[in-house]
Amino acid sequence: MPGLLSPLTLFKDASVRPLFVSRVISSTSVGMGHLALAWGVMNMGYGARELSLVLACNAFPALLILCGGIIGDRFRRHHVLIGAELTACLAWLAVGASFTLDQAPLPLLCSLAGLGGVATAIFLPTIRGVIADLLSGDKRAAGNALINQTESIGHLIGFVSSGATVTLVGPAWAAGTRGTLCGISAVLLTRLATHHPSRTTSTLLHDLRQGWREFTVRPWVWIMTLHYTAITTALVCYMKIAGPLYTQNGHGGAWAWGLISAAQPLGALAGALIGARWCPSHHLLITATLPTSVSLPMLLMGGGASWHLIALAAVIPGALQAVYYVFWTTALQNRIPHDVLVRVNSWNIITSYMIMPLIVLLSGPLVATFGPQPIVLTAAAAAITATAATLIALRLTSTARPPLKLPLPPSTTTASASRSNKAPTG
């Protein structure tokens, strides 16, 4: 697929176009919900500890990601995505309604945030596998790049507009908008045509063990998984608790945090194009280095920089994170057997999300005690240290460096191509 804008040519393919349009709309809703939940809770008079509890309840259902992986391999993948979007629709419409109260009970907010987290747990591993259903060969890298670009466009729209929405009309409208957009996304996904998985009589426990076995026999997968778990820990401290509180305390408020959050998807628009075309010789080592860029805006925030400077700096990790997504997702799709792909993806992301509720719960009291700046400095140091350790581990583990182009087994490739050819065009 020659040409710098080659991923965009996939919009001509009617069999995959609804997926990309859906990602723009659904990702816009994520930006809306990100600010709506934080400012809705704070506007009711709750502090850092209560905010961390609500956000932890939103993150806790991520423990179900492994179940989401099994579901994504057992059922048609676009059906799984539709179910997740409809669940998110109901959850966020209810959150918006609760924000219209003078002070919604904390257990109610925690329950609704938890329901939204269930939708995320189902959605995340499956979205990484659906491209393998719809595209094959060299088109997968372009497809992953376009997924990242459309999500980035949505996040950009969502974060920028949510800051204005929360400021002008309140978080209830922002939360309600997220629910509505998730519903629209679900309708669009009905136009996809993913393959019917082969019928299986195996138990859920057997499926779980099979996914774990495929995950553990590849050292390069679990080393990178541990690395990104550390990166996610740092990001959670920064994005969920410290960042919003930093901007609320005299550094621009909700509008500023919306623009800072929007800077990362802005950078990702260019980063995804680079990821679709760049093929470095030390592919895995380069991939492992990219996520450490998240420490740049954290270091600036820790030093008390203005929100304008932090927003500019956030463009850089946005671009490099997009390159990372394309490199890593394409590697998994090309090197993991199709029938266990979503389960391996679920093991790949479960560790990050398993510790997220704990990190959110700890971050609130820590930020309340020490302030946001010392916490983000510590998070930045942790991200840098984890990257250095990962590079050393990959160097020492020779089996962790797979060939740059490792073909699928012939039987898997043939079956995947056959399914792709039979898929109707929406």
Can you give the pLDDT of all 426 residues of the chain as single tens digits? Answer: 444 445 567 777 777 889 989 999 998 998 788 788 888 888 888 877 788 888 878 877 767 777 777 787 788 888 899 999 999 999 999 999 999 887 888 899 999 999 998 898 888 888 877 887 887 767 777 788 888 888 888 888 887 788 788 888 888 999 999 999 999 999 999 998 877 776 666 777 778 788 888 888 888 888 888 898 889 888 888 887 888 888 887 777 777 887 888 788 788 877 877 777 777 777 788 888 999 999 999 999 988 888 889 999 999 998 998 888 888 888 887 788 877 887 887 887 777 777 777 777 777 788 778 888 888 899 999 999 999 999 998 888 754 444 444 444 433 333 333 333 333 333
For 275, what's the count of Cα atoms within 13 Å in the CB-facing half-sphere?
34
**Contact criterion met (CB below 8 Å) for 315 and 263:** yes
Alpha helices (H) along 306-355: 307-313, 315-335, 341-354
Alpha helices (H) along 237-252: 243-248
For 389, what's the count of Cα atoms within 13 Å in the CB-facing half-sphere?
15
Question: Which whole-number Å values give the CA distances from 260 to 30, 31, 319, in the listed order?
Answer: 15, 12, 14
Query: Distance between CA atoms of 385 and 358, rounded to whole angstroms?
Result: 21
Give the CA angle between residues 261, 267, 273 to the nearest 5°: 140
Query: Distance between CA atoms of 269 and 156, rounded to whole angstroms?
Result: 10
pTM of structure? 0.68
